[in-house]
Amino acid sequence: MTRPLAIIGAALMLGSATHAVHVLAAPPPYGSDDWNVMHPYKEWVTSQHDQLGRWCCDIADGRPVDAEIWENCQFPAKDKNGDCPKNTLIGTHWWVHITEKHFPGELDRWELVPDEKIIRKSNPTGVPILWLYQGKVQCFAPPDGV
């Protein structure tokens, strides 16, 4: 009987080693860089919705992030300069950099922002803001003017 339990235990250990542990979100610590960006706009941060009308969540789930617009090409892939070959560009998408510094317990990674999660209204903070809940993008506000 101990053998099946050992296999289950090993599987649980492997699973926890390969996935981020999602911790409960908390507002940015007082005086931190994230707090200095988010706190003056708390009312705006807590009142946002994605394009489908779903709440973005609270100030505890939103953080300033690095974000970039990347091109998506049809096959073949990008050339050696990182550009799409002629007539193969099929669109651009926002990608966000998720880091442990901004989202404790999350693995460092770049993640695609689904189009319906992009807030198309003005972003008064002047920097990209990402709302992340249990490792999933809830909303993204690009910097103004983009």
Residue 146 confidence (pLDDT): 60
> Is there a contact between 15 and 80 (Cβ–Cβ < 8 Å)?
no
* Residue 10 clears pLDDT 50, i.e. is over it: no
Instruction: Determine, yes or no, domain membership for 2.
Output: no
The residue range of the domain holding 104 is: 24-141
Count the domains in the chain.
Answer: 1
Instruction: Determine, yes or no, domain membership for 121.
Output: yes
What is the separation of C-alpha 109 from the centre of its chain, rounded to a whole number of angstroms? 9
Instruction: Determine, yes or no, domain membership for 92.
Output: yes
SS (H, E, C) the chain: CHHHHHHHHHHHHHHHHHCCCCCCCCCCCCCCHHHHHHHHHHHHHCCCECCCCCECCCCCCEEECEEEEEEEECCCCCCCCCCCCCCCEEEEEEEEEECCCCCCCCCCEEEECCHHHECCCCCCCCCCEEEEECCEEEEEECCCCC
The whole-angstrom separation of Cα 35 and Cα 24 is 17
Residue 67 confidence (pLDDT): 95
Instruction: Determine, yes or no, domain membership for 76.
Output: yes
For residue range 81-118, what is the model confidence (pLDDT) as tens digits?
777 777 677 778 899 999 999 898 999 999 999 999 99
For residue range 37-83, what is the model confidence (pLDDT) as tens digits?
888 999 999 999 999 999 998 777 889 999 999 877 766 666 777 77
The whole-angstrom separation of Cα 97 and Cα 136 is 13
